[in-house]
Structure 1
């Protein structure tokens, strides 16, 4: 039986050796930080116009983390490519020959990708938060204010869960093009559009992205019947289901 630490090392080597996965993580950082800083600066310069019709307090934290709306795209692509490259290149056969215990392989892959996504996400959201607060000037907030640290940390958890959800979906589909063709339209077209349709929006609130984003809110909105931690748990449940599906496909089908 392959030793789990050795399999972890192997999976870490795979991730580092694929240039596209490294670039997608770098893009995640740049998009989230740059977009959050830019929007924070724009709002500072036009604060009265942006807030004159607000019915809730100004959320300086959400403003600095606004780049996550596009950063999701990069982290989803990272999760898909990190798994899909192995199938498209045929390296999955080599991996299964070296580690025939498919649960061990799946566990190591999930652990490495999850840890890497969380580490990058954590650095990204804290950098975006602090730079965004600098840009906001006198309208800023601090980590010591109620719910702010939870929102920033929740943002990192949310991005990590999206990455692992994408890993699970790609393991089930075994094709990176098909996975991207489903995940990107779902998160950036289907879910946002359905969320504004009265007939179905009650159910859409339980989609992984809609639920997970509640963790970013400092001031809860009335649109969600659950709190931020419950939203993260819903997102985590979707992620666990996707990873379970990926494992079952890996276990039952040949490479």
Structure 2
């Protein structure tokens, strides 16, 4: 099957499954709504902040507070895109139609990643605009130093979270097992490692903590990571590449 036909086939699969559409919609709504809520709370709290907290006040990053829950939906989207065919048994039909397993996997991931990127960038720009509107006089402008990078980075972060989940799902081949590992990893293990002094240096190199650095404009003086925004994103890309490589190896060596 020609590459363009494989891509069209994967696009048809994604848009015909209601669950993937709903998870992307949920990612948008949760990210925007929670970002506005946290922005509103931060605006009212600003006058009570000490001088140190005001110096580290980052209106851009505050508007992305909803990303912590929005990524939950992106994880589910990434897992479902890959593992749905395994759970339904359609993977055998798909691999019969596209015997070249590398082409099959990366066409699927390319289509899903493209969709996640469009949704992620749109969500990031809307989240920033509405969050800054709520912050009022404490707002940041898109033309301020580092702000445009952070907003674009928010869309890239959401996309990479989804693609990382696709790679893990390709390795594990089970939606329940994939979600059972990814959810605790991002919402428990990562937070624990990143906040416990003894493990903080390790936690900084986990995909979500390193990748989220791209959305920060103001770095707290007492909590500066050993890498910059693009360095953090590069670390996250490394995690994604490793997950995709693992997924490819498993698909190549194991029967459907």
TM-score > 0.5 by shorter chain: yes
Distance 1:165 1:50 in 2: 37
Q: Which moved more, 1:58-67 or 1:164-173?
A: 58-67
Q: TM-score, normalised by structure 2?
A: 0.96
| Post-superposition CA distance 1:94-139 (Å, at most 9, x none) | 1101100111101201110110111000000100000111111111
Distance 1:211 1:145 in 2: 23
| Post-superposition CA distance 1:150-190 (Å, at most 9, x none) | 11111111111111000000000000100000000000001
Tell me what 1:149 maps to.
148
Cα distance change on mapping 1:59 and 1:27 into 2, 3 Å? same
Distance 2:47 2:227 in 1: 31
Aligned: 1:253 with 2:248: no
Distance 2:37 2:219 in 1: 24
5 Å-filtered alignment, 1:211-230, equals 211-221=210-220, 222-230=223-231
In structure 1, stretches of 5+ residues that fail to align are none
1:141 is paired with a residue whose SS is coil
RMSD (Å) for aligned C-alpha atoms: 1.2
1:195 is paired with a residue whose SS is helix
Q: CA deviation at 1:141?
A: 1.0
Tell me what 1:7 maps to.
6
1:202 is paired with a residue whose SS is helix
Aligned: 1:240 with 2:241: yes
Distance 1:107 1:39 in 2: 37
1:218 is paired with a residue whose SS is coil
Tell me what 1:177 maps to.
176
5 Å-filtered alignment, 1:30-69, equals 30-50=29-49, 54=53, 56-69=55-68
Tell me what 1:22 maps to.
21
Distance 2:190 2:133 in 1: 32
Q: CA deviation at 1:50?
A: 4.7
Tell me what 1:208 maps to.
207
CA contact (8 A) 1:211 1:231 kept: yes
Q: TM-score, normalised by structure 1?
A: 0.96
Distance 1:196 1:39 in 2: 21
CA contact (8 A) 1:195 1:205 kept: yes
In structure 2, stretches of 5+ residues that fail to align are none
Aligned: 1:187 with 2:175: no
Cα distance change on mapping 1:245 and 1:98 into 2, 3 Å? same
Tell me what 2:104 maps to.
105
Distance 1:168 1:83 in 2: 8
